[in-house]
């Protein structure tokens, strides 16, 4: 049970890191290329800590790479939001910001987890995520309130991504039990704080919440968008094509 | 030919430890001070090189001119008595 | 002071190993040579991110993915250090990037070769970075202060790059037959392009003499290439792989390894744009730059708005 919960946390960091790594060498300015790669590196590091911990709890004794690379698509439990493609820098920045606000609150809560190892991982990761949040928030403001073009692109990105945000606050049955045990964070309760911060940033960035609300979810249950399959095909390629080898 | 505009250039100063001087480490481009600070953090402290960062837009640096070096720095050279090694102390005196 | 006196003083400074700094007088040809060489070096770092970036999303393990990302990110940093150092000579980054995108500036030709299997990442680290480091270590003592300081920083950071490449190949060389074949295939394709990285033979090199006199260059192309060969022959033994040159042989008299002829026709073809990936590399850089234009503009516009608000407040 704890195993599944940790995998879900790990998958979010891993899939988002993979998306960001696609940008390495293709960023909008050299300085931003470096910054985005830093975030990607942080997230890979976090996912490794989580996968390593999950591996210790795994009945099949899989190591971090077997867990990261060798599960079928429907066993990945990441949010739909983080698997969405890098359509343009507006999508990259907004996806990051919406997730960072959540990741920050979630890790903050986890620092008080009764599971000591999880609390330790959260404490370490939180420092990194604080910076990610500062970075992505500043960019939402810059691009939202920058030029007419950047504003349009950001609004467009918000219109495309907003529907996925609600999934962050859906509690699974596993989470319900772990919350009772004082191990997991109750994501439902994070929502008001998250919304307050996000609304205030979006307002300052002169962006409007699209109508229609949150209506897409499934990632946490293993039902993904079409994009994840392609991401995994690429990410898993070596491990699938040459099984059981040391690299 | 190009109407494109670069972000302004900033100079970066980093103190590697609390209590030490900020030292010039290089420069970078950024649209504003906040971004310059973040970029400096990402570019120049990837290996934990610093605990404090200053950034200043390059155009605000006013530098001495090497042509003036004689007038600027020669006079200081003549004041050897400002250095402790100028003074020969009797051997009996140690640690001063 | 007239031009001749200035020139004498300048050369005396160089001969005395005193670094030249941005505001010092310098001959125009010195400035132009530096701009050409340093911007070329910066472009090489940036374009060099692309062949390795080709494998980031497919790296076989999380650890390898993180190492590769960190390494490519370092290259972005090194490009940035070098662009900044070049800017002290009075050219903007914008002008340098325009020159690259319009084909007026060169970059290291080795990055016009494709990365076809995972072992290529090892080969690039071991051979290409190995060759680059030879050159860079020599350049730490170059006469222009900002260039020298950038190189010192770069060399310090690069020290893990070659090792991680060797480590990839070493792991493959102890792996399955498939992995060994992968590693050998990568060496076969990367050895000669790496040898060409040092540039034409000293007898053919157009810029060398003046650059040596000005101590922009500290070691000749052939000297560096020989060091590279001598090192590589020793290290490839540890890998149990073969370098694709049947003429590699220890020469007792020279106390160096002899090596076979380099295919200069191929070298010049790739330099002149007819390599396997020249067009793709520049197209990728241009696309990133063009796609980023609205982002860069928006950031400037936002900074301006914010400043105006501060003034009002």
ipTM, 2 dp: 0.97
Identify whether the C-beta of residue A31 lies closer than 8 Å to the C-beta of residue B30.
Answer: yes
Is residue B37 domain-resident? yes
Q: What percent of chain C has pLDDT over 70?
A: 100
Is residue B47 domain-resident? yes
Which residues of A, range 186-215, sit inside 8 Å of C by Cβ?
none
Residue numbers in A near C298 (CB within 8 A): 142-143, 146-147, 149-150
CA distance C25 to C11: 11
pLDDT (mean) for C67-71:
97
| Tally of domains within chain B | 1
Nearest CB neighbour to B66, from listed C21, C94, C307: C21
Cross-chain Cβ contact C72/A32 below 8 Å: no
Give the best residue of B31, B34, B35, B43 to mutate against chain A (max A CB count within 10 A): B35
Is residue B57 domain-resident? yes
Which residues of C, range 128-157, sit inside 8 Å of A by Cβ?
none
pLDDT (mean) for C249-270:
97
Residue B1's pLDDT band, with cuts at 50, 70 and 90, is very low
Residue C304, chain A, CB below 8 Å: the answer is no
Nearest CB neighbour to A37, from listed C69, C171, C176: C69
Nearest CB neighbour to A31, from listed B30, B34, B46: B30
Is residue B77 domain-resident? no
Residue C88's pLDDT band, with cuts at 50, 70 and 90, is very high
Q: Name which of C157, C149, C158 is nearest C129 in CA terms.
A: C158
Q: Residue B77 burial by CB count (10 A; 0-12/13-18/19+): exposed, middle or buried? A: exposed
Beta-bridged to residue B11, according to DSSP, are: B27, B56
3-state secondary structure B16-80: CCCCCCCEEEEEEECCCHHHHHHHHHHHHCCCCCCCEEEEEEHHHCCCCCHHHHHHHHHHHHCCH
Residue A94 Cα distances to A35, A88, A135, A165, C290, angstroms: 15, 10, 11, 11, 20
Which of A154-158, B66-70, C237-241 has the weakest average pLDDT? Answer: B66-70
Q: Residue A174 burial by CB count (10 A; 0-12/13-18/19+): exposed, middle or buried? A: middle
Name the residue of chain C whose CA is nearest to B33's CA: C303
Residue A134, chain B, CB below 8 Å: the answer is yes
Domain span holding position B43 = 4-63
Residue B86's pLDDT band, with cuts at 50, 70 and 90, is confident
Residue A180, chain C, CB below 8 Å: the answer is no
pLDDT of B2 > 50? The answer is no
Is residue B12 domain-resident? yes
CATH of the domain at B10: 3.10.20.520
CA distance C39 to C100: 9
CA distance C266 to C276: 11
CA distance A54 to A3: 5
Q: Given this model, what pLDDT does residue B31 score? A: 96
Task: Give partners of C (≥3 CB pairs < 8 A).
Answer: A, B
Domain residue ranges in chain A: 2-241
Cross-chain Cβ contact A138/B30 below 8 Å: no
Cross-chain Cβ contact A21/C61 below 8 Å: no
C184: helix, strand or coil: helix
Tens-of-pLDDT digits for all 247 residues of chain A? Answer: 999 999 999 999 999 999 999 999 999 999 999 999 999 999 999 999 999 999 999 999 999 999 999 999 999 999 999 999 999 999 999 999 999 999 999 999 999 999 999 999 999 999 999 999 999 999 999 999 999 999 999 999 999 999 999 999 999 999 999 999 999 999 999 999 999 999 999 999 999 999 988 989 999 999 999 999 999 999 999 999 999 999 9
Average pLDDT, chain C: 95
CA distance C126 to C117: 15
Q: What contacts A103, CB < 8 A, 6 or more positions away?
A: A12, A129, A132, A133
Name the residue of chain A whose CA is nearest to B34's CA: A138
Residue A71 is classified by DSSP as: S
CA distance A236 to A242: 10
Secondary element (H or E) of residue C42:
helix C28-47
Name the residue of chain A whose CA is nearest to C297's CA: A147
Give the best residue of B38, B40, B43, B46 to mutate against chain A (max A CB count within 10 A): B38
Q: Name which of A148, A162, A167 is nearest A211 in CA terms.
A: A162
Residue numbers in A near B26 (CB within 8 A): none
Residue B3's pLDDT band, with cuts at 50, 70 and 90, is low
pLDDT of B85 > 90? The answer is no
Residue C219's pLDDT band, with cuts at 50, 70 and 90, is confident
Quick: pLDDT tens for C123-173. Answer: 999 999 999 999 899 899 999 999 999 999 999 988 899 999 999 999 999
Is residue B92 domain-resident? no
Is residue B29 domain-resident? yes
CA distance A137 to A130: 11
Number of residues that this document lists for chain C: 313
Q: What contacts C122, CB < 8 A, 6 or more positions away?
A: C165, C166, C167, C168, C169, C172, C183, C186
- Place domain A2-241 in its CATH homologous superfamily: Ferritin, core subunit, four-helix bundle (1.20.1260.10)
Which of A32-46, B56-70, C170-184 has the weakest average pLDDT? Answer: B56-70
Identify whether the C-beta of residue A19 lies closer than 8 Å to the C-beta of residue A231.
Answer: yes
Identify whether the C-beta of residue C20 lies closer than 8 Å to the C-beta of residue C38.
Answer: no
């Amino acid at each position: 049970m704890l195993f599944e919960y940790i995998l879900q946390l790990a998958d979010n960091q891993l899939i988002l890191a993979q998306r960001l790594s696609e940008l390495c060498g293709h960023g909008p300015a050299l300085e931003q290329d470096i910054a985005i790669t830093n975030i990607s590196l942080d997230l890979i590091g976090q996912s490794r800590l989580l996968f390593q911990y999950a591996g210790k709890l795994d009945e099949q004794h899989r190591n971090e790479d077997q867990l990261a690379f060798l599960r079928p698509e429907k066993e990945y439990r990441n949010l739909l939001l983080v698997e969405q493609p890098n359509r343009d820098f507006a999508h990259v920045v907004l996806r990051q910001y919406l997730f960072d606000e959540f990741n920050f609150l979630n890790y903050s809560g986890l620092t008080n987890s009764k599971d000591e190892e999880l609390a330790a991982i959260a404490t370490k990761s939180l420092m990194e995520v604080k910076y990610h949040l500062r970075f992505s928030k500043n960019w939402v403001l810059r691009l939202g309130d920058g030029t007419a073009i950047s504003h349009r692109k950001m609004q467009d990105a918000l219109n495309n991504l907003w529907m996925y945000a609600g999934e962050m606050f859906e509690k699974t049955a596993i989470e319900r039990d772990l919350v009772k045990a004082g191990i997991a964070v109750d994501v439902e309760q994070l929502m008001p704080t998250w919304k307050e911060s996000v609304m205030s940033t979006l307002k300052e960035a002169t962006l409007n919440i699209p109508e229609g609300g949150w209506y897409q979810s499934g990632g946490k249950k293993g039902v993904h968008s079409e994009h994840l399959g392609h991401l995994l095909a690429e990410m898993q390629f070596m491990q699938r094509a040459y099984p059981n080898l040391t690299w | 030919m190009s109407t494109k505009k670069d972000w302004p250039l900033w100079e970066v100063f980093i103190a590697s430890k609390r209590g030490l001087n900020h030292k010039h480490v290089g420069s970078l481009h950024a649209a504003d001070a906040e971004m310059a600070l973040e970029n400096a953090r990402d570019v120049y402290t990837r290996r934990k090189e610093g605990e404090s960062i200053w950034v200043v837009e390059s155009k605000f640096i006013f530098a001495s001119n090497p042509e003036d070096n004689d007038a600027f720095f020669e006079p200081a050279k003549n004041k050897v008595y400002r250095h402790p090694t100028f003074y020969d102390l009797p051997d009996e005196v140690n640690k001063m | 002071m007239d031009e001749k006196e200035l020139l004498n003083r300048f050369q005396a400074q160089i001969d005395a190993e005193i670094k030249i700094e941005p505001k010092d007088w310098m001959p125009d040809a010195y400035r132009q040579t530096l701009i050409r060489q340093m911007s070329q070096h910066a472009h090489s770092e940036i374009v060099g991110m692309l062949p390795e970036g080709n494998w980031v999303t497919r790296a076989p393990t999380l650890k390898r993915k993180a190492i590769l990302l960190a390494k490519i990110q370092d290259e972005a940093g090194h490009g940035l250090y070098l662009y900044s150092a070049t800017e002290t000579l009075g050219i903007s980054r914008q002008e340098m990037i325009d020159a690259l995108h319009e084909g007026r500036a060169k970059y290291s030709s080795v990055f016009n070769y494709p990365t076809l299997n995972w072992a290529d990442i090892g080969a690039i680290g071991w051979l290409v970075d190995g060759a680059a480091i030879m050159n860079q270590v020599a350049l730490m003592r170059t006469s222009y202060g900002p260039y020298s300081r950038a190189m010192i920083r770069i060399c310090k950071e690069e020290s893990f790059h070659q090792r991680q490449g060797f480590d990839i190949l070493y792991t493959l060389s102890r792996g399955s037959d498939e992995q060994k074949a992968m590693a050998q295939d990568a060496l076969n394709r990367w050895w000669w392009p790496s040898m060409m990285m040092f540039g034409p033979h000293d007898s053919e090199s157009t810029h060398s003499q003046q650059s040596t006199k000005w101590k922009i260059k500290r070691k000749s192309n052939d000297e560096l290439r020989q060091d590279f060969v001598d090192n590589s022959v020793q290290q490839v033994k540890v890998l149990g792989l073969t370098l694709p040159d049947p003429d590699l042989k220890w020469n007792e008299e020279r106390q160096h390894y002899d090596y076979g002829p380099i295919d200069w026709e191929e070298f010049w073809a790739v330099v002149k744009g007819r390599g396997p990936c020249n067009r793709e590399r520049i197209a990728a850089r241009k696309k990133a730059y063009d796609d980023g234009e609205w982002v860069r503009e928006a950031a400037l516009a936002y900074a301006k708005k914010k400043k105006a608000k501060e003034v009002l407040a």
